[in-house]
Amino acid sequence: MNTLVTIIGLGPMGTTMARTFLAGGHPTTVWNRTAAKAAPLVAEGAALAPTAAAAVAASELVVVSQTDYRAMYDSLAGADLAGRVIVNLSSGSPDELRRAGEWMSGKGGTLVTGGVMVPPPGIGQPGAYVFYSGPEELVERHRKTLEVLGDVTFVGTDPGLSMLYYQAQLYLFWSTLTAYMHAVALVGSAGVSARRFLPFAATTVRELAGDGPMGFLKEMAEAIDADVHPGDDNSLRMQAVGADHVVEAAREAGIDTAGPRALRDLFWRAVDAGHGAEDLSCVIRVIRAPAS
């Protein structure tokens, strides 16, 4: 018999998870503060628990998908958590997740934290993956069940690590797309369409992660880990001057300059700190030790 699973929280993500577990043959109990949201899942075979406490009692493995960790505290306050593995896939800050792990231990349960790296329609689909952290033996015990949602990527025993990976990936995703929008707005000020500019933007993004001589991410990772930043071919000072020009171009185009200015200021802070002759990768030093 497949593992019994409980889902707490039936927003778009929780509902899709419950439906995916059901499709995978896992008996699934659900609970939501607004019980009416469970009706379609009940029609598909889920069991609706009358209370959160009853939902927790139904399964050793409890998956929480709520707005935040405060919602988990409110929902599970009266539940008997002894012996339960609570896998919380809600968003929060790393320290918040660490405090939640302590809270859970005080209640007799064990917290596994996670960050889901796909939107709800991607749950259970090829390419879906989830960062998990917490007790590794429990992640391994339930790996086969959790893999129904996506690849299980265990990143460490620190409960905050899953959220560090999650937030880092989100920041990379959002900032890249926002930079793309700035670029589109910039060329768009001269009548160039987003579709016309697309192949050039796509080439740049591919080069960031390429395995060949243009694999900038790989080169930067090596430079950061070694803390060696030779700037013989393209110094940071040269790039900071170029960033000045990007800001001026944005101003002339009449588009928002906040993003380009933030980037320019970061470059010049690194130059002012004495890193002007080094490579762009040296900016990590300023990022790691921000000005007060």
Q: Burial letters for 215-237: b for 16+ Cβ neighbours within 10 Å, e otherwise?
A: eeeeebeebbeeeebebeeebbb
Q: Tell me: do 76 and 195 sit in the same domain.
A: no
Dist. CA 45–CA 69, nearest whole Å: 28
Q: In the chain, which ranges are E strands?
A: 5-8, 28-31, 47-48, 61-64, 85-88, 110-116, 129-133, 151-156
User: Mean pLDDT over residues 233-251, rounded?
Assistant: 96
* Closest by Cα among 12, 17, 58, 10 to 31: 10
Mapped onto helix, strand or coil, the DSSP state of residue 227 is coil
Domain count, the chain: 2
* Claim to verify: residue 67 and residue 27 sit in the same structural domain: yes
Which residue do the tokens 């160039």 mark?
192
| Residue-wise pLDDT tens digits, 266-279 | 999 999 999 999 99
Residue 97 has pLDDT above 80, yes or no: yes
Same domain, 185 and 265: yes
Q: Which of 76, 143, 156 is nearest to 113 (CA)?
A: 156
pLDDT at 223: 93
> Same domain for 152 and 177?
no
Q: How far apart are CA 290 and CA 292, in angstroms?
A: 6
Tell whether 119 and 10 lie within a shared domain.
yes
Query: What percentage of the chain exceeds 70 in pLDDT?
Result: 98
**Is 39 in the same domain as 152?**
yes
Q: Which of 110, 135, 158 is the last residue of a domain?
A: 158
Give the pLDDT score at 2: 87
CATH number of the structural domain spanning residue 178: 1.10.1040.10
Q: How wide is the angle at C-alpha 270 spanned by C-alphas 267 and 273, nearest 5°?
A: 150
Which pLDDT score is estimated for 17? 98
What letters, b where the CB count within 10 A reaches 16 and e where it falls short, cover 53-69?
Answer: bebbbbbebbbbbbeeb
> What is the mean pLDDT of the segment spanning 5-21?
97
* Residue 46 belongs to domain with CATH number: 3.40.50.720
Q: Is residue 277 classed as helix, strand or coil in its secondary structure?
A: coil
Predicted pLDDT at 292 = 55
Residues 154 and 174 in one domain: no
In this prediction, residue 179 has a pLDDT band, given cuts at 50, 70 and 90, of very high
**What pLDDT, in 10s, does the model give residues 24-76?**
999 999 999 999 999 999 999 999 999 999 999 999 999 999 999 999 999 99
Task: Provide the mean pLDDT of the chain.
Answer: 95
Q: Let me know whether 189 and 154 are in one domain.
A: no
The pLDDT score that the predictor gives to residue 93 is 95
Structural domain including 198 reads 165-288
The identity of residue 39, as a single letter, is: A
On whether both 134 and 189 belong to a single domain, the answer is no
Distance in angstroms (rounded) separating the CA atoms of residues 57 and 52: 9
pLDDT score at 213: 58
Instruction: Measure the CA–CA gap between 236 and 180, rounded to whole angstroms.
Output: 22
Count Cβ atoms below 10 Å from residue 266 Cβ, excluding itself.
16
My answer on whether 96 and 181 are in the same domain is no
Domain boundary among 158, 182, 205: 158
DSSP 93: -
pTM for the model stands at 0.92
Domain boundary among 118, 141, 158: 158
Please check whether residues 49 and 175 belong to one and the same domain: no
Angular region, 134: left φ>0, alpha ψ -120 to 50, beta rest? left
Instruction: Characterise 108 by phi-psi region: left (phi > 0), alpha (psi -120 to 50), beta (else).
Output: left
Q: How far apart are CA 257 and CA 249, in angstroms?
A: 9
- Return d(Cα 202, Cα 82) in angstroms, integer: 51
Q: Are residues 147 and 9 in the same domain?
A: yes
Say if residues 30 and 41 touch (Cβ distance below 8 Å): yes
Q: 18-34 pLDDT, tens per residue?
A: 999 999 999 999 999 99
